[in-house]
């Protein structure tokens, strides 16, 4: 497979389910969504390589958990591109259980927190923000009718920002970094 074909030089490309000879503009909301999911997947990989090897979530290394998230993001991308794929309900349930398990280890949330703390938590926080943006694009594509995205894939995408928020807080908590609320400074 060649790294490039030049067929997209005119600003169009094909989807999995494109009829023979039909190309779609790269400005399509579907490609914006695919790009956001791709960006999210690369950020998850960036977090994965920074994860301490002894950072466990339950009995699982966080690196393994993050790799699983990447696999699911590829599934969602394939679905948006027209493949007959979707995230299984069991994966949504497993992610929900994982988030609930992390939450039990953390102090109760009473306010927003200023991002930062450790290199790893900062990476997770950036990933959380991009996750929310990717989910918004996914919902936009679904609601536009350009592509039906399964309820389970949309639910999984919704859980991801919660997962990254929980992991951010967990990374700071385990590092002994205190969570500081914003001061909401008004103009003098």
Question: What is the predicted pLDDT for the residue at 10?
Answer: 76
**Contacts (Cβ under 8 Å, ≥6 apart) of 116:** 122, 125
What is the phi/psi pair of residue 152, to 5°?
-70, -35
- Could you tell me if 160 and 70 are in contact, meaning their C-beta atoms sit under 8 angstroms apart? no
Question: What is the predicted pLDDT for the residue at 187?
Answer: 67
Question: What is the predicted pLDDT for the residue at 180?
Answer: 81
Question: What's the pTM?
Answer: 0.91
Using CA atoms, how far residue 44 sits from 49, 100, 188, in Å, is 9, 20, 40
**Contacts (Cβ under 8 Å, ≥6 apart) of 139:** 154
pLDDT tens for each residue of 87-105: 999 999 999 999 999 999 9
Question: What is the predicted pLDDT for the residue at 188?
Answer: 67
Residue 122 has pLDDT above 80, yes or no: yes
- Mean pLDDT score across all residues of the chain: 91
- At residue 24 the predicted structure's pLDDT band, cuts being 50, 70 and 90, is confident
Percent of the chain predicted with pLDDT > 90? 70
Residue 178 has pLDDT above 90, yes or no: no
DSSP state of 117: S
pLDDT tens for each residue of 37-80: 999 999 999 999 999 999 999 889 999 999 999 999 999 999 99
Structural domains in the chain, sorted by start = 26-175 (1.20.1200.10)
């Amino acid at each position: 497979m060649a790294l490039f074909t030049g067929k997209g030089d005119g600003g169009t490309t094909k989807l999995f389910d494109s009829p023979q000879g039909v190309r779609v503009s790269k400005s399509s909301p579907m490609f914006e969504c695919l790009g956001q999911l791709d960006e999210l997947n690369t950020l998850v990989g960036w977090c994965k390589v920074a994860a301490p090897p002894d950072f466990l979530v339950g009995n699982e290394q966080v690196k393994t958990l993050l790799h699983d998230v990447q696999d699911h993001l590829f599934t969602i991308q394939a679905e948006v591109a027209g493949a007959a794929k979707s995230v299984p309900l069991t994966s949504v349930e497993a992610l929900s259980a994982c988030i609930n398990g992390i939450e039990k280890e953390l102090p109760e949330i009473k306010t927003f927190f200023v991002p930062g703390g450790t290199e790893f938590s900062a990476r997770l926080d950036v990933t959380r923000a991009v996750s929310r943006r990717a989910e918004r694009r996914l919902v936009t594509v679904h609601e536009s009718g350009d592509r039906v995205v399964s309820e389970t894939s949309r639910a999984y995408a919704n859980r991801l920002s919660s997962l990254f928020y929980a992991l951010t807080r967990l990374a700071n908590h385990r590092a002994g970094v205190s969570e500081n609320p914003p001061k909401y400074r008004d103009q003098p």
